[in-house]
Amino acid sequence: MATLGELVRQHTDLGKEDAAHLQQLVGEWGMLADLCFADMILYLRDREGGWWVGAQVRPATGQTIYRADLVDTAAPVATRRVLDATFAEGIISEAEILREDVEEPVQVLAVPVRGSSGPVAVLTREWSSRTGRQPGELERTYLSIFHRFAEMVSEGNFPFRGRVADLSAAPRVGDGAIVLDENARVRYASPNAVSALHRVGISANAVGQVLSELGFADSPVRQAYERREPVIEEFDQTDDVTLLVRCIPIVADEVVTGGVLFLRDVTEVRRRDRMLLSKDATIREIHHRVKNNLQTISSLLRLQARRLESAEAKAAVQESVRRIRTIALVHETLSREPGDDVAFIEIVRPLMRLAEEGLQSPDRPVRFTVQGDGGRLPATVATPLSVVLTELLQNAVDHGFPEGSDGGSVVVSLGGDDEFVHVSVVNDGRGLDPDFSLDGATGLGLSIVRTLVTTELNGTIVIRPGQPADFAALGLEGHRRGDGTVVELKLSR
């Protein structure tokens, strides 16, 4: 389906300012549809004088008369007559029309949408008198408010210019509405608004009183009236109740003639938010403590290694320390990240530094680099993958650059999509043994890699000799044909 912006460009020659005005109107008109209990349609006048539906909204407070989506369809002939008259005269008009797709006659209230230099579109309220809501005090009050907003639309005063607030969580008409006069006195409170006031301990009849006299926080109302623009604010009305309110002033000739206050009780939502924040903080504290405990274990093992005389035993302890530090690094990253996911590149970079510190030597200078980022990964994937990557870096140095070699480069490449993570470790050192087989490898490091990749990570691993294209793609120069090794991992996210 085409967007309003695309339809404006396709059918009209409106400038950016007028197109933005229409976009802002569509962002606000859910409130208008709820206030008038009817479908609302925005019609665009094309370059030949025809009319096209640019946007459509159905009310949450009433019954729709249009089952089908009308966006990007031409206006019926009967509707075009009303639209032409409204657009030409620039005043609100009303008519009854017959449409083939609606059984009953359709009542149309057409409102010219005034832009920077005159009408730029027509907004209609379309309903059937046979299926509409029966008029009561609430219906009459809401309709009177709608008509005042319609006048503001025709005058170019609505939607309000300037800052555009985030309306995704703003209170709607059905949450509760309080109608105010020019002095911010309550003229009407909907049943839902009365219930919200009762929940905060205000049981007195609000009609005829100023909100501050009732003990209600009226800061949003005062700001909206003073600035002549909508104000959204959330506050704790009592220790137990949190309210989200939006006050919209009604303006005529630059003078505030009234306003409407929508309010929603968000106490339970904020209670859950606080619980989630508390839970998140607890989880991060746990990760921090696990990291500290692992560092303590690592320190104890290093102390033990100093007392060992066997070179083989010292090497085994050092490898254990390296693996523990890798896991501690993951927990340290998770302790700083909100949620259970972590940006894997934030783990890989410190891992590369650890590899440089522990695996480099003057006899074999090795340069470690990383390309790509791998996206965000859950902790259940990041932890074993970090251990796998550490083992592969160790293996790349031990077998690709033996003591006495000229050294070289090790490149970790990260990539993938929404389903899989692709990791490759490429070195341009000594080539892979022609008789090498991963299934037949007996070394502890490769055994750990094979087990973690195929079981915990549900992935595949391929170890093969490097090819010139592999090194060229990574920017590695100076290698000899057939030298080097490529390890490729494909893992499920």
R_g (Cα) of the chain, nearest Å: 34
Phi-psi region of 215 (alpha: psi -120 to 50; beta: other; left: phi over 0): left
Assign 269 a pLDDT band (cuts: 50, 70, 90).
confident
- pLDDT at residue 482 in the model: 47
Range scoring the smallest mean pLDDT among 43-52, 138-147, 304-313, 360-369: 360-369
Assess whether pLDDT exceeds 90 at residue 34. yes
The answer to whether residue 337 scores a pLDDT higher than 90 is no
Helices (H), 14-76: 16-36
More confident residue, 198 or 290: 198
Q: What would the mean pLDDT of 92-110 be, rounded to a whole number? A: 92
pLDDT at 481: 42
Q: What are the tens digits of pLDDT across the range 457-487?
A: 888 888 888 877 777 777 766 554 447 888 8
Bridge partners (DSSP) listed for residue 424? 413, 488
Band of the pLDDT at 338, cuts 50, 70, 90? Answer: low
Give the pLDDT confidence of 349-364 residue by residue, as tens digits: 888 887 777 666 666 6
**Sign of the CA dihedral running 183, 230, 90, 117:** positive
The per-residue pLDDT for range 139-156, each reduced to its tens digit, is 999 999 999 999 999 999
Which has more pLDDT, 290 or 211?
Answer: 211
Reported as a single tens digit per residue, the pLDDT across 215-266 is 888 899 999 999 999 999 988 887 788 889 999 999 998 899 999 999 998 8
Q: What is the DSSP annotation of 203-241? A: -S--TTSBHHHHT---HHHHHHHHHTS-EEEEEESSSS-
Q: Taking a C-beta distance cutoff of 8 angstroms, is the pair 131, 103 a contact?
A: no
pLDDT of residue 289: 78
- What is the pLDDT of the chain when averaged over all its residues? 85
Tokens of 208: 């005829």
